[in-house]
Amino acid sequence: MIQGVVVRDGRKPRRLGIYHHYTETGGEKMPSFPIAEGRRSQRVVLKRPASLVINLDRNQKKLPCLVLDSSKGGFRLRGTFHQRRGQAVELILDHEPFHSVRCRVVWLGKAGSEQEDEVGLEIF
């Protein structure tokens, strides 16, 4: 399970299971990677469309993105948006539009690298 992920969808807060979206949609579990040295938890490949909700000068903006993988503590996304480390955001998976996960940007892919246009999010 993704421990500590609280779903905010107008109902009583509840925790999401790591394969919650697969059992809800009847999909299959995706392959996971072994835990690399220095990582705290195992990653699970998702490659699911989603939206990143950010606040810009008190105006909410919803930006499309792709969730590449998830772990117990966060997500790795790909998209064309300009965030800054420490910025609070909400992630909404397209197949669960009434569920959001509050996160903080913890890393940004370096321009010109394989991680360009990627963002690392940590779950609050």
Contact between 63 and 81 (Cβ < 8 Å): yes
Domain that holds residue 86: 6-123
The pair of three-digit structure tokens given for residue 51, joined into one six-digit string? 């939206």
What is the total count of domains within the chain? 1
In a domain, 85, yes or no: yes
Give residue-wise pLDDT tens across range 94-112: 999 899 999 999 999 999 9
Q: Which residues pair with 6 in a beta bridge?
A: 15
Q: Which residues contact 97 (CB under 8 A, 6 or more apart)?
A: none
This prediction's pTM: 0.68
Residue 61 reports pLDDT greater than 60: yes
d(CA 14, CA 59): 27
CATH code where residue 96 lies: 2.40.10.220
1 is a domain residue: no
What is the radius of gyration, based on Cα positions, of the chain? 14
Residue 29 within any structural domain of the chain: yes
